């Protein structure tokens, strides 16, 4: 194998590693940021060195990578939706329809399809039906937007706990959220503090 062919193979492998997530851009520390910048610099240098061949490899590898990544995301979403169907006792078609319906909700338009499916699964894990998920998920989206997108698992768990502790049906999720919002606005408490206070106020004493 001559040097040009070796460089071409190395370039293809380097691009594949980025798409597979084995190599990532890390900005958590100055050192990692510098290393990531150097890796990107070397990748660009490889493309330039190989000229048209390098450009062709770069384009082809990224097209293939994008296609494979899209397939990977689709399979991941499919797996999550099947989990939701199993947890809620619904058909896969019903879950898919619900997932599409929630994607059209104003408060959930900012949430990507994979994350939206993960939210649905998290709510389903709380013993909620598909119908209840459709009430709760948009409310979670609204609260997340208002209060800086806290950890969705925490928010779903706490909000579900409040609904149950106060014996509120899922259909009143929006009204409960409005009450929480008004309480935070009228007090000196932060959103997490108010959530914990509402839970503590009616939790059984040990």
Total count of domains within the chain: 2
The residue among 51, 74, 97 that closes a domain is 74
Do 117 and 188 lie in one domain? The reply is yes
- pTM of the predicted model, to two decimals? 0.70
118 falls within a domain: yes
Same domain for 97 and 172?
yes
* Secondary structure of the chain as H, E, C letters: CCHHHHHHHHHHHHHHHHHCCCCCCCCCCHHHHHHHHHHHHHHHHHHHHHHHHHHHHHHHHHHHHHHHHHHHHHHHHHHHHHHHHHHHCCCHHHHHHHHHHHHCCHHHCCCCHHHHHHHHHHHHCCCCCHHHHHHHHHHHHHHHHHCCCCCHHHHHHHHHHHHHHCCCCHHHHHHHHHHHHHHHHHCCCCHHHHHHHHHHHHCCCC
- Domain-embedded: residue 82: no
81 in a structural domain:
no
**What range defines the domain where residue 198 resides?**
89-202
Are residues 14 and 61 both part of a single domain?
A: yes
pLDDT tens digits, one per residue of 58-93:
666 666 666 766 777 788 889 999 999 999 999 999
Residue 89, φ and ψ in degrees, nearest 5: 75, 20
Query: 93 with 188, same domain?
Result: yes
Q: Residues in the chain with pLDDT < 50?
A: 1-2, 6, 22-23, 25, 27, 35
Q: What is the pLDDT of residues 138-161, one digit of tens each?
A: 999 999 999 987 789 999 999 999
In a domain, 79, yes or no: no
130 plus 59 within the same structural domain:
no
């Amino acid at each position: 194998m001559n040097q040009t062919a070796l460089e071409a193979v190395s370039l293809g492998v380097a691009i594949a590693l980025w798409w597979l997530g084995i190599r990532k851009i890390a900005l958590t520390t100055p050192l990692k940021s510098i290393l990531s910048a150097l890796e990107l610099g070397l990748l660009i240098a490889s493309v330039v060195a190989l000229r048209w061949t390098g450009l062709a490899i770069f384009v082809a590898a990224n097209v293939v990578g994008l296609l494979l990544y899209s397939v990977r995301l689709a399979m991941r979403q499919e797996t999550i939706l099947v989990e939701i169907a199993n947890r809620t006792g619904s058909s896969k078609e019903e879950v898919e329809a619900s997932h599409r319906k929630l994607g059209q909700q104003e408060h959930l338009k900012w949430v990507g399809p994979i994350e939206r499916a993960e939210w649905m699964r998290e709510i389903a894990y709380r013993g909620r039906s598909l119908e209840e998920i459709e009430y709760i998920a948009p409310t979670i989206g609204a609260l997340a937007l208002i209060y800086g997108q806290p950890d969705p698992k925490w928010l779903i768990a706490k909000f579900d706990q409040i609904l149950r502790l106060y014996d509120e049906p899922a259909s009143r999720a929006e009204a409960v959220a409005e009450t929480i919002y008004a309480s935070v606005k009228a007090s000196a408490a932060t959103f997490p503090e108010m959530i914990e206070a509402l839970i503590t106020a009616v939790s059984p004493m040990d």
